[in-house]
Structure 1
Amino acid sequence: MSIVGEEEWMEEVKRELTLKNKPYKASPCIFSASTALLKEYKDAYVPQIVSIGPYHFRKEHLRGMETFKSEAARRQVVRIQSALSYPQFNFEQVIEKIRWREEDIKRCYDKGTPLRGEVLLWMVARDACFILEFFRNHLSGLQDDDIFCRYDYVFRPMYHPIFGPQSENPGVKSAIMKDLIKLDNQIPLFILHDVLDMEMRDSRSELDKLLRKVFDKFYYRPFEFCAQGESPRQDHILDIYHYFCLGVVASGNKNEVKLNVCCSCFTGSDGGQSSCFGCAPQQSENLQNPSQSKEWRVKVPSAVQLKNGGVKFKANGKNVVDIRFQGKTLTLPSLKLDVDSEIYIGNLVALENSSPYYKSKSMTSYIKFMYELCKTEKGVDVMREEGVLAGNLWQHSDAVRVFSLCKQSPLSRSQDLFEKTRRKLIKYCNRKFWTAAAILWNEFCNAYGSKPWLVVGGFGATIVLCLTAIQVFCLFKHCGPRST
């Protein structure tokens, strides 16, 4: 390190130490993906087309969208001019509107940001304009009475590679939509509120309607329901998307949680590990009670073993965490899997494990539970046959890869929503000898029932082996009649 660099470092440390007694106005709410996630699932977390926020600012492969960001800023200025009937309005006035937010913006990022002053303000303002323009034009082709769906008198409908209806250039727009919900590709939602507030009244409510309509019409939903009302967390777009897909888990007993959801229910069909079903010792993340670190984690048997043991699977789309085991029936929500599931589910899981605000990790708990059921190809087949897994992701390895996202996601005992169900399944499988015997017999039938010649050959080999043993026995002991 050079002498100049050392001096700059010392000045920065001294400046930070002088602020030690001053509380932050805001806690970090935008987090970067961990190194482990980026190593194994890089495409799920790194933006491919557009950068939002400082973490991917001006990266070479994302610079193609910079021109469209400037165009979005010009469009937003024209909209504000039209709304205010003030032709002299310019983008510098947007910057002045959010200038007082600079420190709050910096504190929203867990790793901070090297951008300061005008550069930071211009970056987040242009990004906000891009998001608003992209989403509102996505809805422009819909026949709806919503303010964002009506005929646009400022910019008449015409073909545009980015700012046009979803039916135009769908491949690029789908990639942008995925980039906009990635964990570290975010800006604070209050910047969108401030920019939109200059154009219309009640910007908070209108933005919530806009995002909800876009999520409902165009975004991937893992389950067939959506949350009602306004999200209790309004930090960034991924926060809103998480609430839209999963709702809020109310406080209460595990496996008896409630979600504020509006179900558009659909009916599914009714319905490894070793044969020792018990508590598998595993390091616990529950630091509050370390004495139980070796016994809390209960691993459920695979779906194949459960089916062989007489368990029936029932697909139920009412609740994301409505997983229950009653009698001999295991009720699960029906999960839609497609080629983009890894990206969307991966970022929901990453948000739960990065942000301290998510005390109940509903998606992480669900993915871990499903991984234990479906970690093999046969387990995936069972879940598909019973209607628990739907969608067009037919490759078994791809489905298992989605569930293996939980490997990089620690889950403490207090955060696992399905611990009670796990223990019920273990108790059922260990309740009597005949259950274990039924599991082994069904596994044998499944393995060899479709190969009759293999069974016949094995039976014949057993007979030959028995006759050979008798022959050897007779060599050492006279088996004939005794001589007189």
Structure 2
Amino acid sequence: MDEDSIDHNKSVIIDIPTDLESNQWSKCWIHRIPRKLRKVKESAYTPQLISIGPFHHGREELKAMEVLKEKYHQKLLQRLPKDGSVSNQMEEFIRDSYKEIHGRYAGLSNNGFDDEDQAFEKIIMRDACFIVELFQRNDSKKESDDDYILSTPWLKKAIKLDLIMLENQIPFFVLRQLYTITAPHLPSVNVPITQASNHMNPFLKLTCSFFKDHIVKESDWEKFAEIKEIKHFTNLLREFWLPREFIKRRNPQQKDIADRKYLYSATKLDKAGVTFKRASKGTSLADVKISKKPVLKFIPASKGMKLKLPELKLENDTECLLRNVMALEQCLYPKEDYICGYVALMDQLINTSEDVDFLVERKIITNMLGSNKEAARLFNGLCNQIPREKTFYARFYNDLNKFYENRWNVTRSTLKKVYFKDLWTGSSTVVGLFVLVFTVTATIRNVYLRHL
């Protein structure tokens, strides 16, 4: 067997669990990105500055931040009682929770750790303390101004992005418990108190505050008051994007299979008279709605179609966020892949830069990537290696395709856009019709009189 064959076999083994019969795999929350997805765009799944958890621990290019993480760890410990009682309580919690924490990482072995269990516990403790210290500093105005990370905008944004990556996670319950243990000895929380945040866990408030305006808007915190379990930060972002009805009911609808796995583009659907509307502010990213409405109320059979889409702001880090949440759904929520379905829907609607331009005009997309061509390229590549046999939006495909393929809808829409696109054009058209009718009537009358 040649070297290429050996490398290929190794790459396959990495993506397949060693014990396919065990139900332990379903309890894993933090997964390595499947190799097929990683090959599409590796940089979108790989932390650039800081490693969190065991998967990227020890990478040479991330070692520079290890010193800073240890500094934050020590700063947190310095806030605690000098007798070591609280720090001992933290260590005891990590030690007692070892099996549960370790079991949340899919396919994790001790290879590469210096001293097996103790090395793993040390990684979790240091990285968790770094996050707790960073979040509470972010909450303190004075400490935020003096902090190197928080006072350097590009660095803070880059670390936020690394903290969202699926392979760079620590179970949320670990962070929450360590904060609970240390909170009495930390500065008071200055997070704005809202009706929603009153029902939130204190550390969740700090988390939302840290990711505020970058991922989680303060106006949407109320969504998290309804969440029973947050597995980690990537999972938190997905919860923020899920349709609101799904969050409330936690009862996923049956996936539908579309008659055809394609959808006509936004500009083509517009030609058929489909109305594109931006959903109201505060609507979740995947909360797409479709409805039928009469074009003319006095003609019951005359139906139009409206598609309401939430606003999507395209920035430099949008692709990374979408890809990591989509990878999470493929690993952990294959039967509830709302975000994958939403991205597939947008991919179908956007074929060219003209489609992006159309959605920008409708204020459905805010494009900060520099060009509409770049935005179209982004969407056309996001679903590469993502299965699309079934989707929660399949009925949208069927309804919209049938609407477009009804030639009367296209003709009606064309006539409306040519002759009734605005008040002046419509008025001119009506006047022209009256003149035409008057002229034809007068001509017929004259011909009739001549034959008398």
TM-score, normalising length: structure 2: 0.72
Using a 3 Å threshold, how does the CA distance of structure 1 residues 21 and 388 change in structure 2: closer, same or farther? closer
Q: Amino acid of the residue matched to residue 398 of structure 2?
A: R
- Cα distance in structure 1, aligned partners of 2:133 and 2:324: 23
Does 1:372 pair with 2:348?
Answer: yes
Q: Alignment partner of 2:204: what SS?
A: helix
- Cα distance in structure 2, aligned partners of 1:102 and 1:353: 26
After superposition, the C-alpha distances for 1:152-187 in whole angstroms (9 at most, x for unaligned) are xxxx6662322xxx4x11111110010001011111
Which aligned pairs between 1:8-407 and structure 2 lie closer than 5 A? 24=24, 27-81=27-81, 86-89=82-85, 91=87, 94-114=90-110, 115=113, 116-141=116-141, 159-162=146-149, 166=150, 168-200=151-183, 205-215=201-211, 217-220=212-215, 225=220, 227-246=223-242, 249=246, 250=249, 251=251, 296-317=259-280, 318-320=283-285, 321-326=287-292, 327-356=304-333, 359-403=335-379, 404-407=381-384
- Cα distance in structure 2, aligned partners of 1:107 and 1:229: 27
1:296 is displaced (CA, Å) by 4.0
Using a 3 Å threshold, how does the CA distance of structure 1 residues 21 and 242 change in structure 2: closer, same or farther? closer
Using a 3 Å threshold, how does the CA distance of structure 1 residues 183 and 64 change in structure 2: closer, same or farther? same
52-61 or 393-402: bigger deviation: 393-402
Identity of aligned residues (%): 27
1:442 is displaced (CA, Å) by 11
Using a 3 Å threshold, how does the CA distance of structure 1 residues 188 and 54 change in structure 2: closer, same or farther? same
The answer to whether the Cα contact below 8 Å between 1:26 and 1:104 also exists between their aligned partners in 2 is no
Q: Alignment partner of 1:180: what SS?
A: helix
384-393 or 394-403: bigger deviation: 394-403
Q: Alignment partner of 1:200: what SS?
A: helix
Using a 3 Å threshold, how does the CA distance of structure 1 residues 222 and 312 change in structure 2: closer, same or farther? farther
Q: Which residue of 2 aligns with 1:479?
A: none
Which one has the largest radius of gyration? 1
1:305 is displaced (CA, Å) by 0.8
After superposition, the C-alpha distances for 1:405-444 in whole angstroms (9 at most, x for unaligned) are 122222442xx2212221111111122x34456789999x
Higher relative contact order (CA 8 A, sep 6+): 2
Using a 3 Å threshold, how does the CA distance of structure 1 residues 91 and 398 change in structure 2: closer, same or farther? farther
Q: Alignment partner of 1:38: what SS?
A: helix
1:230 is displaced (CA, Å) by 4.7
2:386 to 409, 434, 457: 409
Q: Amino acid of the residue matched to residue 323 of structure 2?
A: G
- Cα distance in structure 2, aligned partners of 1:223 and 1:398: 30
Q: Alignment partner of 2:201: what SS?
A: helix
The answer to whether the Cα contact below 8 Å between 1:135 and 1:214 also exists between their aligned partners in 2 is yes
Using a 3 Å threshold, how does the CA distance of structure 1 residues 402 and 99 change in structure 2: closer, same or farther? same
Q: Which residue of 2 aligns with 1:273?
A: none
Using a 3 Å threshold, how does the CA distance of structure 1 residues 105 and 225 change in structure 2: closer, same or farther? closer
Q: Alignment partner of 1:80: what SS?
A: coil
After superposition, the C-alpha distances for 1:285-328 in whole angstroms (9 at most, x for unaligned) are x9xxxxx8xx6444211111111222221111334323214223
- Cα distance in structure 2, aligned partners of 1:340 and 1:425: 31
1:396 is displaced (CA, Å) by 2.2
- Cα distance in structure 2, aligned partners of 1:436 and 1:40: 38
Q: Which residue of 1 aligns with 2:193?
A: none
The answer to whether the Cα contact below 8 Å between 1:223 and 1:245 also exists between their aligned partners in 2 is no
Using a 3 Å threshold, how does the CA distance of structure 1 residues 323 and 20 change in structure 2: closer, same or farther? closer
- Cα distance in structure 1, aligned partners of 2:59 and 2:89: 28
The answer to whether the Cα contact below 8 Å between 2:138 and 2:210 also exists between their aligned partners in 1 is yes
Q: Alignment partner of 1:407: what SS?
A: coil
318-327 or 383-392: bigger deviation: 318-327
After superposition, the C-alpha distances for 1:92-133 in whole angstroms (9 at most, x for unaligned) are 653233112222222111121324211000000000011111
After superposition, the C-alpha distances for 1:426-463 in whole angstroms (9 at most, x for unaligned) are 111122x34456789999xxxxxxxxxxxxxxxxxxxx
Aligned residues: 364
1:254 is displaced (CA, Å) by 7.0
Which aligned pairs between 1:444-483 and structure 2 lie closer than 5 A? none
Q: Amino acid of the residue matched to residue 70 of structure 1?
A: E
Q: Amino acid of the residue matched to residue 403 of structure 2?
A: Y
Q: Amino acid of the residue matched to residue 408 of structure 1?
A: Q
The answer to whether the Cα contact below 8 Å between 2:164 and 2:234 also exists between their aligned partners in 1 is yes
- Cα distance in structure 2, aligned partners of 1:137 and 1:120: 26
The answer to whether the Cα contact below 8 Å between 1:186 and 1:236 also exists between their aligned partners in 2 is yes
Q: Amino acid of the residue matched to residue 77 of structure 1?
A: L
Higher helix share: 2
Q: Alignment partner of 1:428: what SS?
A: helix
Does 1:423 pair with 2:398?
Answer: yes
